[in-house]
Amino acid sequence: MSIRYDSVDRIFHLQTVGTSYLFQIHPKGYIQHLYWGRPIGDADARYIGRTVERASFSPNPDPEDKTLSLDTLPQEYPAYGTSDLRSPAYEIQMENGSSATELKYVEHTIASGKPELQGLPATYTESDDEADTLTLVLEDETSGLRAYVSYTAFEKLNAIARSVRFENRSGAPIRLIRALSMSVDFEHSSFRMLHLAGAWARERHIYTRALTPGTQSIESRRGASSHQHNPFVALLGRDATEDYGDVYGFSLVYSGSFLANVEVDQFGTTRVAIGINPFDFSWLLQPGETFQTPEAVMVYSSEGLGHMSRTFHELYRSRLCRGAHRDKERPILINNWEATYFNFNAEKISAIAEAGSELGIELFVLDDGWFGNRDNDKGSLGDWFVDKNKLPNGLKDLAEKIEGMGMKFGLWFEPEMVSPDSELYRKHPDWCLHVPNRRRSEARNQLILDYSRADVREYIVSVISDILGNSPISYVKWDMNRNMSEIGSAKLPPERQRETAHRYMLGLYEVLEEVTSRFPHILFESCSGGGGRFDPGMLYYMPQTWTSDNTDAVSRLYIQYGTSIVYPVSSMGAHVSAVPNHQTGRNTSIDMRAHAAYTGAFGYELDLTKLTDSEKAAAKEQVSFFKSIRKLVQFGDFYRILSPLDGDETAWMVVSKDKKEAYLAYFQTRNEANAPLGRIRLKGLDPTLRYRIPDSDSIVGGDFLMNVGLPKPQTWGDYSSAVYYLKAE
């Protein structure tokens, strides 16, 4: 059992291969956090908790016991209004206007396996022995609010998943105004906080800063997890590095607005919580109704950031992603977006596809512009009918032609959007998110369909199913190109308007569940102007995401390095594009572009008919080399070696599960004259195995490669790179 309960001391012990997480039922019914870190035994757990009387302004809940203060007690799911003055995990408003509550222990259950989260993406088990789930039933007697706080401990996968279900057991409505997915208190604040931030074409760059007293939070208010902030935060022990020290990671399985809140209080303790952003959120619970929060996944590593990342990678790759493609090597694709933008016809598409098939590329993806009247981004979203001017013989004919070339066919959609200039909008102007008597602000000339409405969802599922069912389509790119404004739904009453954004997410998840299960053979890739919704919620439905609209090889080093903090290589779409790069104007060699893209779901995004003969030969070689390492890079263990944030070099590698194969990529963005000789110390190899060094006769031990290192390549010019495939003899 990965969850044990000591009924004498009333202590819960969640234990995985790499961590222990303990809390107890306080004699007064509060849930007191005790410990989270390296694995420990059970025997002395009751000595962990301590309370002292402090001279402070915080009121005490028990007049007889001045040592008990909720404002200092480490807690598992803290309340607001009853004397804990730090950030609460949840807050309600009762009919009488009051917000004060106090959740206390009622009972609990421990069961093997993991139940599904109704209507929400979540990690899962394939057999009950992979994990245990504890559900604490807590109640606030005065309001009649119940919270079912659940913890799943994945024993081997080494992670803890948490979520909460609220239930209104009173006879009156209760309004939830904050409902975070988890909260945990640490005894100290000797941490640096790491998070992933950026913008369109600059996603998920790594930022770290020391914690200071007060609140430091990251959030999205955009109705999407966003380009700007990823729903993830980590706390690093002061001396923690990539390979050593304590690291705690928190990741939210959700694709909408979120909050990750870190508060350092007056006594230097740290409270971390993550969940749906309470900003502009409320949810009315009528008597008997329930509300389920999204899931938060918590990972502890005693071996630095790299080990935390590999734990997330394995869990998300194998027990969050689903479907037929989860464990399959992903096809090498050619996408026409940067090749043609909106300017194409059937001949042009066939010519690019033909060139792709000659190189050994396996999938052609037709991007934006194939439907309605879409010669630019000014209209037609919502009119999912093929543009006969561009494709006179229709999609089926084109798809069959491409299949005839020995490739699969894939198609782009942006199904959550509507252009004001579209048949759909003219027919249903109230089908978009909007607020009465206010401007409907457009972004990229488009509005957002109101997925909180069942009629909108039904329409979209049926129109997309028609297309997917009538042509041989093997891949779908599901795009989403704006954030929310004027958030409101014509279908919701005034008292439920603040539910719109979350209802939208629930509606989106319902549509994704329906479409992906109707077409299980299709590989879905999510996209949001590149990586504007690269989050675990989307990965549950679609096992890969277009990492960024920035395809520049140098920019990609930062973006993919940052993305790898949480997300597995198999989930990152990465393509070779033309130079000068369309987003940065930079020139890099076709080799470096491929080297950067190999550690991902690899493909091309340029006009293959314009390649020179030598570029064609290079691309052909790349395609065949990638096929030889694809299984290794997409399903092996990923190690970061040199960070682009630390200088001009980047290196990362992937090691197969049996450690018999490894792949290393090294990049140098700025060359140094007369540079020192350096070595790259590899990671993750078997020290007892001997590996053949490519292009040489050398066979060297894993111990040497990891401790002495591989000589750095001598480079000439800026933007150079090298890749190595190592195989144990």
The contact pattern for ligand DGJ, residues 363-382, with x = CB under 6 A and - = no contact, is ----xx--------------
CB of 576 to ligand DGJ, least distance (A): 14
Q: Is 524 in the site for ligand DGJ (CB under 6 A)?
A: no
Q: Which is nearer to ligand DGJ, 412 or 509 (CB)?
A: 412
For residue 560, what are the CA distances in angstroms to 273, 341, 460, 548, 568?
A: 26, 24, 33, 9, 10
Does 71 qualify as catalytic in the annotation? no
**Shortest distance (Å) from residue 335 CB to ligand DGJ:** 7
614 Cβ contact partners less than 8 Å away, ≥ 6 residues apart = none
Enter the tokens of residue 622.
């790349």
How many C-beta atoms lie closer than 10 Å to residue 58's C-beta? Answer: 15
Q: Is 529 in the site for ligand DGJ (CB under 6 A)?
A: yes
Q: Where are the beta strands (DSSP E) in 77-173?
A: 90-94, 104-112, 131-140, 145-154, 159-168
305 vs 449, beta carbon nearer ligand DGJ: 449
Is residue 412 a contact residue for ligand DGJ (CB under 6 A)? yes
- Minimum CB–partner distance for residue 159 and ligand DGJ (Å): 30
> Which residue of 546, 598, 626, 652 would you call a contact of ligand DGJ, by CB under 6 A?
546
Number of residues that bind ligand DGJ (CB under 6 A): 11
User: What is the smallest separation between the CB atom of 50 and ligand DGJ, expressed in angstroms?
Assistant: 53
Please, which of residues 666-705 interact with ligand DGJ by CB under 6 A?
A: none
Angle between helices 500-518 and 454-470 (to 10 degrees): 20
Nearer to ligand DGJ, 337 or 524 (CB): 337
Stretch that binds ligand DGJ, among 210-218, 522-530, 535-543, 638-646 (CB under 6 A): 522-530
Nearer to ligand DGJ, 549 or 637 (CB): 549
Distance CA 640, CA 242 (A): 8
Please select the residue that binds ligand DGJ; options are 35, 250, 337, 504, rule is CB under 6 A.
337
DSSP conformational letter for 449: B
Q: Which residue has the tokens 């091309």?
A: 604
Task: Say if residues 477 and 542 touch (Cβ distance below 8 Å).
Answer: no
Least separation in angstroms between CB 585 and ligand DGJ: 18
CA 438 to CA 722: how far, in whole Å?
55
As given in the structure block, the two tokens for residue 534 are 């690269």
Q: Which of 479, 552, 591, 607 is catalytic?
A: 479
Q: Which of 527, 592, 662, 689 binds ligand DGJ (CB under 6 A)?
A: 527
- Give the C-alpha separation, 142 to 456, whole Å: 40
Rounded Cα distance, 167 and 229, in Å:
31
Q: Which of 203, 549, 607, 649 binds ligand DGJ (CB under 6 A)?
A: 549
> Considering only residues 121, 323, 530, 702, which one is a binding residue for ligand DGJ as defined by CB under 6 A?
530
User: How many helices (H) and strands (E) are present in the chain, helices listed first?
Assistant: 12, 38
Region binding ligand DGJ by CB under 6 A among candidate stretches 254-262, 468-476, 526-534, 674-682: 526-534
Distance of alpha carbon 335 from alpha carbon 523, whole angstroms: 14
Mark the segment that binds ligand DGJ (CB under 6 A) among 310-318, 424-432, 523-531, 550-558. 523-531
Give 256's contacts (C-beta < 8 A, 6+ positions apart). Answer: 220, 223, 224, 225, 276, 277, 501, 502, 504, 505, 537
635 binding ligand DGJ? (CB under 6 A) = no
The CB-of-369 to ligand DGJ minimum distance in angstroms stands at 8
Decide: is 555 part of the binding site for ligand DGJ (CB under 6 A).
Answer: no
Cβ atoms of 548 and 201 within 8 Å: the answer is yes
What is the x/- site pattern for ligand DGJ, positions 449-488, by CB under 6 A? Answer: ------------------------------x-x-------
**Which is the catalytic residue, given 367, 387, 549, 552?**
549
Q: How far is the CB of 537 from ligand DGJ (least distance, A)?
A: 18
Q: Is 6 a catalytic residue?
A: no
Radius of gyration of the chain from Cα atoms?
A: 27
Burial label for 192, CB within 10 Å (0-12, 13-18, 19+), is middle
Q: How far is the first Cα of the chain from the last one, in angstroms, to the nearest whole number?
A: 40
Min dist. Cβ of residue 528 to ligand DGJ (A): 7
Q: Where do contacts with ligand DGJ occur on this chain (CB under 6 A)?
A: 337, 367-368, 412, 479, 481, 527, 529-530, 546, 549
Give the residue numbers marked as catalytic: 479, 549
